[in-house]
Amino acid sequence: MSIHVTVLGCGSATPTSFRNPSSQWLDIQGEHYLIDCGEGTQTQLLKFKLRMSKLKAIFISHLHGDHFFGLPGLISSMHLMGRKEKLQIYGPEGLFPILDSIFHCSQTELRFHLEYFVVDTFKSYVLLETPKFEVISIPLKHRIPCSGFLFREKPKPRNLRPELMKFYNVPIYARKKIKQGNDFTSSSGEVIQNSKLTLDPARSVSYAYCSDTAPDESIIPIIDSATALYHEATFEDNLIDRAEQTFHSTASQAASQAKLANVEKLYLGHFSSRYRDTKTIENQACAIFPNTSNVHDGFTFDVM
């Protein structure tokens, strides 16, 4: 499985001429999801030729405006464009009364069903499950309730060792269970351990989105060994006090999280509008976790 990510916005707080507020588009083998929906997300979708009609679900991390003020507009446009299919929205408590109120006051009767899922931002659990992958919440440490999201491919079946299938005369019908990790009992009653019959499967792909948050070690087990981590790095290292006051992270703090979690790749975003050039943030992070890249609006990457 691979996850193709398009960054639609990676700025914090207020939009600038060079950076939109947070939003990311995920293409998981033809299924499309949105994480966060800051103001202007619609125009970014148009700019990068991504079709809003394809979206199956939208995940909102928290209720600061730079992460969801684009959502009512996006839903409204889907309505005007004749969407019929239901749309799933995952977000913190408080989001859904806001949306209902907006559509009520504007006398907008949506032509499609909004299926709401309130995310408990204080625990980690499975929000969405498909045959191939699941989405798990990541409780983040921010000024208001906030959740990150881990997109994780389900474990792949174990690989059978053909020579041992032959040696133990394992019938075809028994092989599926062995691939799932079960032991095998031969016709003579001998139990052969699964570890002897199989090899480890290829690793599963995972992508963790952690924004907004102060550095928090309690999430390390959840994002452990992720294929890629997107972590906010709102400030350069010299503004560590400001980061602490506002429950954000500096470049080095984000990189330390990546190192602790032993992820393969770190992407940084959610940059303060005071930085037009974010090279210093990337350099500071690379000193701790070398496999780091800053993103920018329109930046794409594959998690695979």
Task: Rule CB under 5 A: say whether 232 interacts with Zn ion.
Answer: no
- Tokens 């464009």 belong to residue: 81
Check if the beta carbon of residue 261 is closer than 8 Å to that of residue 278: no
Question: In sequence order, what are the beta bridge partners of 267?
Answer: 230, 293
Question: In sequence order, what are the beta bridge partners of 128?
Answer: 135
Rule CB under 5 A: which of 52-81 touch Zn ion?
64
Q: Could you tell me whether strands 114-119 and 126-129 are parallel, antiparallel, or unpaired per DSSP bridges?
A: unpaired
Q: Could you tell me whether strands 87-92 and 114-119 are parallel, antiparallel, or unpaired per DSSP bridges?
A: parallel
Check if the beta carbon of residue 70 is closer than 8 Å to that of residue 40: yes
Q: What is the largest CA-CA distance in the chain?
A: 74
CB of 121 to Zn ion, least distance (A): 12
- CA dist., res. 204 & res. 227, Å (int): 8
Stretch that binds Zn ion, among 70-78, 208-216, 229-237, 265-273 (CB under 5 A): 208-216
Rule CB under 5 A: which of 212-231 touch Zn ion?
212
Binding mask 159-198 for Zn ion (x = CB under 5 A): ----------------------------------------
Stretch that binds Zn ion, among 25-33, 45-53, 197-205, 207-215 (CB under 5 A): 207-215
Residues that are catalytic: 66
CB of 211 to Zn ion, least distance (A): 8
CB of 270 to Zn ion, least distance (A): 8
Task: Rule CB under 5 A: say whether 153 interacts with Zn ion.
Answer: no
Task: Rule CB under 5 A: say whether 36 interacts with Zn ion.
Answer: no
- For 20-48, b/e burial (b = at least 16 CB within 10 A) is bbbbbbbbbeeebbbbbbbbbbbebbeee
Instruction: Name the closest residue to Zn ion (Cβ).
Output: 64
* Residues contributing to the site for Zn ion (CB under 5 A): 64, 212
